[in-house]
A and B are shown apart, each in its own frame.
Chain A
Amino acid sequence: MRRRSARYRTQDEVDFVIVGSGAAGGVLAMVLAEAGFSVVVLEQGPYRRTADFRHDELASWFELEPTGSLEEFPQTFRRTERDEATVPRGGAPPALYARGVGGTTVYFTGNYWRFHEVDFVERSRLGPIAGTGFADWPITYQELEPFYTKVEWEIGVSGAPGPFDPPRSRPYPLQPLPVKSSGVLLEEGARKLGWNAFPAPMAILSRPYAGRAACIHCGFCMMYGCEVGAKSSALVTTIPRAEATDRCEIRAESTVYRLETNAAGRVTRALYWDAEGREHAQRARAFILAANGAETPRLLLASASSLFPHGLANSSGKVGKYLMFNGQAVAYGLFEHPLNEYKSVQVTRIVHDFYDSDPARGFYGGGGIDARFTPGPILFALAGLPPDSPHWGAGFKRMLAEYYTRTVEIHAHTTSLPLESNNITLDPVVKDRFGRPAIRVTYKDHPDDLATMRFLQDRAKELLEAAGARRIWTIPVTESSTGAHLLGTCRMGDDPRESVVDRYHRAHDVPNLFICDGSSFVTSGRGQPTMTIQALAFRAAEHIARFARQGEI
């Protein structure tokens, strides 16, 4: 039976309102509620349960059930600030994120790489890059390490250390998931090339853990909720623990549209719409934004007032700026025998030999490589064959039967430089169903980002060759038009003129406002940000609890 969690009235001044129930919001809610504070989490999406999840490719990938459609939730996109932004036709939402309790963690693949030490101090190591906001983080890997370990043990991460891993204070709590054929071939290719493939750290249980079942290898991870709860999403880890305290209320279908401030410059209430569009206002001592790198800056910009004319917490002008998607490049390979990559988790082995930037390459950037296979049968039939294949008829049908079980994708996940010209703003024309401005995404990859993608795509092809692929093909690297990693839009830093939050995630401008999600990132890392989002959230939660106990919120 589901226990009934705490309920608060909107006029009650709770200790914390948290906006967003995903990777960061779940951690913050759990830690603060377990520390004895009263917490209301406002989540715009529905409260779906494990029993609601199905293996329905049409609903997940084509109806976009996890994210909602652009018609329901319009966004606009433009390449540069000189262009006019439009609602994309024939594309996914530019800022891609799930709506619902647990956020995007419910539907993600679960790659849980830690950042390396270099990610936090890369600007010092490499020097400035003209025209970019390339900067060091105000915290180091050493400061964050205990919280990476906390993530692994609190939510359940399966893995084993790799040769390039940063130091860790404790082993993984769970052994790696069983290697798939793609992982075996990646190991073989890497070995021949003198590189290193090692077990992918995954937020999916290889064995039963903390009362949850182990993975049954159904293969429906990306864009699907896990029907056995083996995927370590916020929905089955942090959120239930927050509710179990009886001090945390998860209020689903509550869309926050404005943070109200008083003359002293403090936030007093979070204004939101419920499922029927009725207005409510929840009072709290302090407010935490964990709504993701697109929704968080949107809410701040929409909360402008006479005291904060350019948006709340935006005296620096950096709210919404420095959006980073991470780059991606793919090479495809066909093998002699069936791999059946549609089975089990998406990724089992990764390669980090090209993680660090190397000035000898002539451009900034680095990344990680994995072997995987994403498409269900519909997507594969529509777009999975090599570009010069027949697309109808007996030959097409024969190729589908041969290629579906024998194809593997080698993906490269890469750095994105922080650019002020890549950003989230409020669209001046397009409105959503509530009548508020749509999210406007402006994004153009830096030339070094594209060079990094091409460089790693070439390495991916070499891996396929070395692993003995019968046939290899690629799709040319192009500029990004959509991103599921929404990073950098309220960056942390010590200088209030150059950043939005301080090293403890407190807004420089607003004493009782904290911001912790992908927006806090200073640099992009190498493509798997959720682990770091959650480590930041554990660290932020400890500091925020300390401030609250000391009367400093």
Chain B
Amino acid sequence: MDRPSLSRREFASASAAALGGAWLLLHLPAIEAAAARARRAARERLGFQVLTPAEAAAFEALAEHIFPTTDTPGARALGVVHFADRALGSFAASMLEPMRAGLAELDARARSIDPAAGSFDRLPAQRQAALVADIEFSDFFFLARTLTLMGVFADPSYGGNRGGTGWALIGFEARGAYRPPFGHYDRGVAAGPAEDGQP
């Protein structure tokens, strides 16, 4: 992956527009096709498109650390791995090889820590977390985090964000139309001046 490593500050403060552009570099036609496949896959419960079962298991375990199950659902329950699989098989295809390499490296590191576990997803959760902390500023983690959060918050037709639950978790109602008052501070405020165009 060509993207240089980011410092913690840069990582978190990269502007929305820049991140949009970063994603653009992943080369993205075929969004519609991906969405259609995702819908079909969800309906027919197809297997993964591009990830091997081992890769899918490693990614899902990693995604679960990025957006964990707490008192509310996490990446696993939201179907994030399915979003990632479809993305890497279509509009994010140029990221498939870096993702594969990163997941393989993650499994290799897991084996060096605990040969008996054999792979990242079979490490005890605490050891997984320690490993994630080791790589949290790497290019690979940047990619995995981006795909995970897209899988949590993109339109459910892309395969993740099951039932719109990701949106509900942060208070995004996704109703498509609203009426005032919109929030706490505009309650009881008149809609506008009495006469059009006059202050």
Which residues of A line the B interface, CB within 8 A? 55-59, 61-65, 69-71, 88-93, 159-161, 170-181, 183-185, 198-199, 206, 216-219, 335, 337-344, 374-389, 391-394, 396-398, 400-401, 404-405, 475, 482
Q: Which residues of B contact A181 (CB under 8 A)?
A: 182-186
For B16-55 the 0/1 string (1 means CB < 8 A from A) is 1111111111011101000000000000000000000000
Within 8 A of A (CB), among B160-199: 166-167, 169-173, 176-180, 182-186, 189, 191-193, 195-199
CB pair B166 A398 closer than 8 Å: no
A91 to B91, CA, bound (A): 18
- B2 adjacent to chain A (CB < 8 Å): yes
CB pair A377 B16 closer than 8 Å: no
A397 to B69, CA, bound (A): 9
Sample (28) of A-B pairs whose CB atoms are under 8 Å apart:
A61-B20, A63-B31, A64-B20, A89-B2, A90-B18, A160-B199, A178-B191, A180-B180, A183-B186, A198-B199, A217-B178, A218-B176, A338-B183, A339-B182, A340-B182, A377-B166, A383-B15, A383-B16, A387-B12, A387-B13, A391-B8, A393-B65, A393-B129, A394-B70, A397-B74, A397-B169, A404-B172, A405-B172
Q: Which residues of B contact A159 (CB under 8 A)?
A: 197
Q: Which residues of B contact A160 (CB under 8 A)?
A: 192-193, 197-199
CB pair A379 B180 closer than 8 Å: no
A340 to B175, CA, bound (A): 13
CB pair A383 B170 closer than 8 Å: no
Task: List 10 additional contacts besides A175-B193, A175-B196, A206-B192; criterion CB under 8 Å.
Answer: A178-B186, A179-B180, A181-B186, A217-B177, A383-B14, A391-B136, A392-B145, A397-B74, A401-B170, A405-B183
A544 to B171, CA, bound (A): 52
Interface Cβ pair total, 8 Å cutoff: 232
CB pair A90 B3 closer than 8 Å: yes
| A200 CB to nearest B CB, Å | 12
From known contacts A343-B178, A392-B132, A393-B65, infer whether A184 and B189 are also in contact, taking CB-CB under 8 Å.
Answer: yes
Closest A residue to B18 by beta carbon equals A91
A339 to B181, CA, bound (A): 10
Q: Which residues of A contact B74 (CB under 8 A)?
A: 397
Q: Which residues of B contact A389 (CB under 8 A)?
A: 12
| A27 CB to nearest B CB, Å | 22
| B19 CB to nearest A CB, Å | 5
A343 to B176, CA, bound (A): 9
Q: Which residues of A contact B199 (CB under 8 A)?
A: 160-161, 198
Q: Which residues of A contact B178 (CB under 8 A)?
A: 216-219, 343-344
| A125 CB to nearest B CB, Å | 27
- B103 adjacent to chain A (CB < 8 Å): no
- B106 adjacent to chain A (CB < 8 Å): no
From known contacts A62-B24, A379-B19, A401-B169, infer whether A175 and B197 are also in contact, taking CB-CB under 8 Å.
Answer: yes
Q: Which residues of A contact B193 (CB under 8 A)?
A: 160, 175-176
CB pair B192 A59 closer than 8 Å: no
CB pair B16 A379 closer than 8 Å: yes
From known contacts A217-B182, A218-B177, A338-B184, infer whether A383 and B13 are also in contact, taking CB-CB under 8 Å.
Answer: yes
| A393 CB to nearest B CB, Å | 6
CB pair A171 B197 closer than 8 Å: yes
CB pair A69 B152 closer than 8 Å: no
| A496 CB to nearest B CB, Å | 38
CB pair A475 B172 closer than 8 Å: no
For B121-158 the 0/1 string (1 means CB < 8 A from A) is 00000000100100010000000011001101111001
Closest B residue to A68 by beta carbon equals B24
| A130 CB to nearest B CB, Å | 32
| B190 CB to nearest A CB, Å | 8
From known contacts A62-B24, A63-B91, A343-B178, infer whether A92 and B196 are also in contact, taking CB-CB under 8 Å.
Answer: no
A3 to B146, CA, bound (A): 45
CB pair B196 A343 closer than 8 Å: no
| B97 CB to nearest A CB, Å | 17
From known contacts A161-B199, A381-B153, A387-B9, infer whether A180 and B22 are also in contact, taking CB-CB under 8 Å.
Answer: no
CB pair B186 A180 closer than 8 Å: yes
Closest A residue to B155 by beta carbon equals A56
CB pair A382 B182 closer than 8 Å: no
A44 to B177, CA, bound (A): 32
Q: Which residues of B contact A400 (CB under 8 A)?
A: 169-170
Interface hub of A172, A180, A219, A381 (most chain B Cβ within 10 A): A381
Q: Which residues of B contact A392 (CB under 8 A)?
A: 65-67, 132, 136, 145
CB pair A397 B3 closer than 8 Å: no
Q: Which residues of A contact B197 (CB under 8 A)?
A: 159-160, 170-175
- A92 is contacted by which of B17, B29, B179 (Cβ under 8 Å)? B17
Closest B residue to A168 by beta carbon equals B197
Closest B residue to A188 by beta carbon equals B185
Interface hub of A59, A170, A171, A383 (most chain B Cβ within 10 A): A383
CB pair A92 B24 closer than 8 Å: yes
CB pair B20 A92 closer than 8 Å: yes
From known contacts A59-B31, A344-B178, A377-B166, infer whether A393 and B153 are also in contact, taking CB-CB under 8 Å.
Answer: no
| B70 CB to nearest A CB, Å | 5
| A350 CB to nearest B CB, Å | 14
Q: Which residues of A contact B68 (CB under 8 A)?
A: 393-394, 397
Interface hub of B28, B166, B184, B197 (most chain A Cβ within 10 A): B197
| A493 CB to nearest B CB, Å | 33
CB pair A171 B182 closer than 8 Å: no
Q: Which residues of A contact B189 (CB under 8 A)?
A: 178-179, 184
| B149 CB to nearest A CB, Å | 4
CB pair A55 B176 closer than 8 Å: yes
Within 8 A of A (CB), among B49-88: 65-68, 70, 72, 74
